[in-house]
């Protein structure tokens, strides 16, 4: 789906307030990244520093840091989890986050302690338009145009 010019894949779960997406994978892994709207708000991303594999991160804490000319921002996660993989390509080419936030711009893969519980607090496709319109208004963000 597209909201104000920003693409949001239907199969993902979203932490709308934090502009973070989650994709379920086999084996209980969950891949994490920032949304197209989050990347557009940040501007050209120049660095991504993830927590290393094996690190445990508590819900509401950061799995990594994104830096642009505008911001230095933690990427907060919505569940207690262990980092099981990082996107090494982002170390050399962090702008992949801007160009392909849901594909090559993924950030980390997690093994959540209780994904079912965390997923309940996230927004799926059915509630995404209303939730993101409200968040974009709060952020004074016109959208991913141009």
Q: Is residue 146 over pLDDT 60?
A: no
* pLDDT digits 0-9 by tens, 109-120: 999 999 999 999
pTM of the complete model beyond 0.85: yes
The residues with which 64 forms a beta bridge, in sequence order, are 50
User: Tens digits of per-residue pLDDT, 20-52?
Assistant: 999 999 999 999 999 999 999 999 999 999 999
All structural domains of the chain, each given as residue ranges with its CATH number in brackets, are: 19-118 (2.40.50.100)
139: left (phi over 0), alpha (psi -120 to 50) or beta: alpha
Q: Are 107 and 73 in contact (CB under 8 A)?
A: no
Q: Span 9-13, mean pLDDT?
A: 97
């Amino acid at each position: 789906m597209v909201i104000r010019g920003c693409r949001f894949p239907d199969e993902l779960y979203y932490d709308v307030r934090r502009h973070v997406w989650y994709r379920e994978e086999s084996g209980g892994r969950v891949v994490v990244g920032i949304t197209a709207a989050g990347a557009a708000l940040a501007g050209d991303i120049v660095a991504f520093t993830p927590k290393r594999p094996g690190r445990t991160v508590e819900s509401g804490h950061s799995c990594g840091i994104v830096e642009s000319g505008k911001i230095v921002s933690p990427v907060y996660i919505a569940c207690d989890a262990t980092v099981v993989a990082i996107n090494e390509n982002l170390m050399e080419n962090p702008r992949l986050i801007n160009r392909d936030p849901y594909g090559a711009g993924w950030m980390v893969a997690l093994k959540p302690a209780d994904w079912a519980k965390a997923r309940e607090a996230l927004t799926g496709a059915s509630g995404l338009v209303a939730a993101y319109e409200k968040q974009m208004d709060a952020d004074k963000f016109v959208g991913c145009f141009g």
